[in-house]
Chains A and B, each alone.
Chain A
Amino acid sequence: MTPRQRRAALVGGMAAGIAAAAAFAFLAIGENMLWFFTPSQLAAEGPPPGNRIRLGGLVVEGSVRRRPGALEVRFDLADRAAAVTVAYRGLLPDLFREGQGIVALGRIDADGVLQAEEVLAKHDETYMPPAIAESMREANATERAGAPTVRP
């Protein structure tokens, strides 16, 4: 091979490698990305294929229930328009509280209950998932109640 051919082969090989890596990366993203839903979006659109989602909402006051002595806890996540029941077997995060905005990650089962693998409550106690804040603002616009303030 002449040096020019060798260089062309090298450049071509690297371009092919980078293209393969990029294709692989986008494929991996497509397979592993999780869509974020609010309870009203879930009610309107239904769960996506595979049923695995992240669901954000406010923990409904008085909805946290646990059979005495059992580990599994159930609670309702809601925005102003809809509510979804979440079941979780594990330790709730420190910031979990009724009325608090949280995100649950898991699958929707046949009964429409989110079987959570992970429950996240982030940042400080005034935190609310931004999408929730937005959907609450929309709901509030019709209800004419004061929109919740969001402090990121």
Chain B
Amino acid sequence: MIPELGHFALILALLTALVLAVAPFAGAVRSDPRWMAMAPSAAAGLFVFHLLAFACLAWAFAANDFSVLYVAMNSNVLLPLHYRIAAVWGAHEGSLLLWSLILSGWTLAVAARSRSLPREVSARVLAVLGFIAVGFLCFMLFTSNPFARLLPAAIEGRDLNPLLQDIGLIVHPPVLYMGYVGLAVPFAFAVAALAEGRVDAAWTRWTRPWTTIAWTFLTLGIAGGSWWAYYELGWGGWWFWDPVENASFIPWLAATALIHSLAVAEKRDTFKAWTVLLAIFGFSLSLLGTFIVRSGVLVSVHAFANDPERGVFILAFLGLVVGGALALYAWRAGRLAGGGRFAVFSRETMLLANNVLLTVAAAAVLLGTLYPLLMDSLGLGQISVGRPYFDRIFVPLMVPLAGLVALGMLARWKRDRAARLAPLLGVVLAAAAAGGIAAALLAHSAAAALGAGLALWIAGSTVRSIVERVRRPRDLLRLPRGVMGMSLAHVGFAVTLTGVCFVSVLEVEQVVRLAPGDSVEVAGHDFRFEGVHDAAGPNYRARRAEIVVTRKGRPVARLAPEKRTYAGQAQQMTEAGIDPGFTRDLYAALGEPLGGGAWSVRLHYKPFVRWIWLGAILMAIGGALAASDHRYRRRAATGGIRDPLRALLGGEGAAPGAERP
């Protein structure tokens, strides 16, 4: 009964989405306020029906209702309750439901904040979001219904993939999807602007906070996924350039470019057509990512051909959304031209370079991801493009990007002179060079030197740019949140860069055979193997090793890597033993028994690996700060200048003249 209720709620959600996609848009075209006024309530209805459907599926998992096929495939009586709930998004159908639920949440949020927008704009934006919801609900209802019944019901479920039984599953997908789907909002704003045929400073001010919030979630989601893979897969890697990872990283690169070009569009009223195009690309790439991950094309293009319904549906929807948006762009972009002029040496140029580098990086990653799929589907053979390609293409793009951060922050809008910046950055350059030389001497590596130098360059120039802005220390707290957020995000970039560079260059890995009592030295640490004993968890049995780590005779850590066997499935799972640290992780993974109590064991020394995720957290905090800048709220209220009567009646303060220069 409850699953049918969920199914029914999904159908109602589809009908509501249809209304939301059509009525407000038609209202905006016909200037009919009653039709436009339907948007907020339709958005609310969409969210409520989604929430109901989601709750029904969660109930089916909680109650072990194995007559629902999806539950039977992904749960088990022995599975702890929190994993049963998280299992809702553990596989295809449920993760689509989560996708769609989050989209409806974003739609509701836009509707709730839309009172400060001109009615036509909010009607169009919400209609575009409604249209996207129609697509995903159709996809779910016609090809991937999570409420499909299994008759006769299974007595016991197949259990959730053991790899997913982890806190990571509870946190990572929702956060990542918040970012992924959040890019639909700037997309909707872009389409609305094209439909209206104008992009002004008010438009960029509405779009900026939404983009920044989506980017913040995407940053956290990607970093969380990297951290999860690091400790859960037992390979000690933190990024694999795997197509699924790339599918989230490519939109992130586009969104990062969008954040920067929006800054130019707002301050200087230029780059407008490009910004709109980037907003379209950002969400298109996240749809493409959904296609790559959800169509089966990753396993093989043949699998895609065997089960074409899903893939063809997403591909067609992708074509419709992207093609439609680009056609609209081609038609209307001509009207968006114009804006401020700028000299070759100016902040605009630096941000243009930022955009070019990030877009090329996104295109290069996309090429490496799609190329094997393309070759295979054309029957040209099966190839794979691995880490060497991505490293080779990505590093040369990131080095100039990191170098330009300083100039982008310190150069003036419109026109600047290198001679003005040279004294400001001289000290920073000296510090960066000193740091690089120190790293070269300590680590005997040119790459580590380059990484340390660039990181210090970014961090130092961030400090320098703040010093430029404040005369007295107490002014620090009065800095606009946008500036604070930007600075923090750039420092985060430096921190991540340091982590990536140091762990890639200085990591030590050893595979060894260890019998009880044996010890081996890895990067100055003594790992002593104490043997393996049996242990048990709620739904698994484990063989747990004990490894004592000492450094110069003093105890440092005890690692307990495990080999687990789960009850529901024959599959074995390696659980790494990790001793985390600010400047290094010690990491051990258990291999196989080699007879006589000896095991094969892989040991890693990973310097600065945590800095990768620490930097991402700093970037995310920076994003949250920037998105909460007061001027968005204040200026959003004055966004109604095109509807002055409403601005007056609304009494939301802040006359247009009160804008910060």
Q: Chain A: residues with CB nearer than 8 A to chain B? A: 14, 17-18, 21, 24-26, 28-29, 31-36, 54, 66, 68-71, 89-92, 94-95, 123-125, 130-131, 134, 150, 152
Q: Whole-angstrom distance between the alpha carbons of A95 and B569 in the complex?
A: 12
Asked if A91 and B600 sit within 8 Å, CB to CB, the answer is yes
Q: Is B381 an interface position by the 8 A CB rule?
A: yes
Q: Is the CB of B360 within 8 A of A152?
A: no
B316 interface contact, C-beta 8 A = no
Bound form: Cα–Cα A89–B600 in Å: 10
A110 to B598 Cα, complex, angstroms: 32
Q: Given A32, A91, A92, A123, which contacts B385 in the complex, CB threshold below 8 Å? A: A32
**Contacts A31-B389, A32-B392, A36-B382 known; 13 new A-B pairs at CB < 8 A:** A26-B367, A29-B367, A32-B385, A32-B386, A32-B388, A33-B371, A69-B594, A69-B595, A89-B511, A92-B591, A95-B572, A130-B300, A152-B306
Question: Are A71 and B512 in contact (CB-based, < 8 A)?
Answer: yes
Verify if B513 is at the interface (C-beta below 8 Å from A): yes
- Given A21-B360, A33-B384, A91-B602, CB of A69 within 8 Å of CB of B513: yes
Partner of B595, one of A17, A68, A90, A91: A68
Q: 3 tightest CB-CB pairs across the interface, nearest first? A: A130-B300, A36-B382, A152-B303
Which of B's residues lie within 8 Å of A, judged by CB?
161, 234, 296, 299-300, 302-303, 306-307, 356, 360, 363-364, 367-368, 371-372, 381-386, 388-389, 392-393, 511-513, 569-574, 589, 591-592, 594-596, 598, 600, 602
- Do A18 and B360 touch across chains, with their CB atoms under 8 A apart? yes
Instruction: Give Cα A89 to B570, complex, Å.
Output: 25
* Complex Cα spacing A60 to B296, Å: 28
| Residue of B whose beta carbon sits closest to that of A66 | B594
Q: Is the CB of A28 within 8 A of B589?
A: no
> A34: nearest residue on chain B (CB-CB)?
B384
Give A131 to B385 CA distance when docked, in angstroms.
17
Residues of B within 8 A of A150 (CB): 303
Q: How far is the CB of B286 from chain A (nearest CB, A)?
A: 22
CA distance A78 to B594 in the complex (A): 25
Residue in contact with B364 in the complex, picked from A21, A33, A70, A123, CB distance below 8 Å: A21
Known pairs A34-B386, A70-B513; A130 contacts B594 (CB<8 A): no
Residue pair B360, A32 in contact (C-beta under 8 Å): no
Closest B residue to A56 by CB, please name it.
B382
Closest A residue, CB atoms, query B300: A130
* Contact B389 A134, beta carbon cutoff 8 Å: no
Contact A125:B570 (CB < 8 A) given known A33-B383, A69-B513:
yes
Known: A69-B596, A71-B513, A134-B302. A34 touches B383 (CB 8 A): yes
Contact partner, B371, options A21, A29, A34, A124, Cβ 8 Å: A29
Contacts of A18 in B (CB 8 A): 360
A35 touches B381 (CB 8 A): yes
Residues from chain B with a CB closer than 8 A to the CB of A32 are 385-386, 388-389, 392
The secondary-structure label for the interface of chain B is: mixed
Given A36-B383, A69-B513; A152-B356 close (CB under 8 Å): no
A14 CA / B349 CA spacing, docked (Å): 13
Query: Which of A28, A33, A89, A124 is B571 in contact with, Cβ under 8 Å?
Result: A124
In the complex, 21 of the A-B residue pairs with CB atoms within 8 angstroms, ordered by the A residue number, are A21-B364, A25-B364, A29-B371, A31-B389, A32-B389, A35-B382, A69-B596, A69-B598, A70-B513, A71-B512, A71-B594, A90-B511, A91-B574, A94-B234, A94-B571, A95-B571, A95-B572, A123-B299, A130-B303, A152-B306, A152-B307
Chain B residue with the shortest CB-CB distance to A3: B341
Cα separation A125 to B356 with both chains bound (whole Å): 44
Contact between chains at B589 and A91 (CB < 8 Å): yes
Asked if residues A130 and B571 are in contact (CB atoms below 8 Å), the reply is: no
Shortest C-beta distance, B268 to chain A (Å), equals 16
Contact assessment for A54 and B384 in the assembled complex, using a CB-CB cutoff below 8 Å: yes
Return chain B residues, CB-CB under 8 Å to A124.
161, 569, 571
Instruction: State the Cβ distance, B547 to closest chain A Cβ, in Å.
Output: 15
Beyond A36-B383, A130-B303, is A29–B600 a contact (Cβ under 8 Å)?
A: no
The chain B residue with its CB closest to the CB of A127 is: B299
- Complex contact A29–B389 (CB within 8 A): yes
Tell me the bound Cα distance from A42 to B572 in angstroms.
31
Q: Is the CB of A36 within 8 A of B381?
A: yes
B594 contacts across to A, CB distance below 8 A? 66, 68-71
Q: Which residues of A contact B392 (CB under 8 A)?
A: 28, 32
| Given the contacts A29-B368, A32-B388, A152-B296, A71 and B511 also touching, CB distance less than 8 Å | yes
| A91 to B589 CA separation, bound complex (whole angstroms) | 9
Which chain B residue shows the least CB distance to A134? B302
Q: With both chains docked as a complex, state the minimum distance between the C-beta of A143 and any C-beta of chain B, in angstroms.
A: 21
Shortest Cβ gap from A140 to chain B (Å): 16
The complex places the Cα of A150 from the Cα of B321 at a distance, in Å, of 33
**How many Å from the CB of A61 to the closest CB on chain B?**
16
Q: Which residue of A lies closest to B589 (CB)?
A: A91
- Expressed in whole angstroms, the minimum distance between the Cβ of A134 and any Cβ of chain B is 7
A85 to B384, CA, bound (A): 22
Shortest beta-carbon distance from A148 to chain B in Å: 14
Complex CA–CA separation, A130 to B377 (angstroms): 13
CA distance A16 to B285 in the complex (A): 25
Bound-complex Cα distance A29 to B387 (A): 11
Q: Are A28 and B393 in contact (CB under 8 A)?
A: yes
User: What is the chain A residue whose CB lies nearest that of B307?
Assistant: A152
CA distance A26 to B389 in the complex (A): 10
Interchain nearest-CB distance for B143 vs A (Å): 15
Asked whether, in the complex, the Cβ of B513 is within 8 Å of the Cβ of A28, the reply is no
CB of B529 to closest CB in A, whole Å? 14
Set of chain B residues within 8 Å of A70, measured between Cβ atoms:
513, 594
Q: Select the residue from A54, A123, A124, A152 with max chain B CB neighbours within 10 A.
A: A152
Is there an interface contact between A14 and B356, defined as CB atoms closer than 8 Å?
yes
B382: chain A residues within 8 A (beta carbon): 35-36, 131
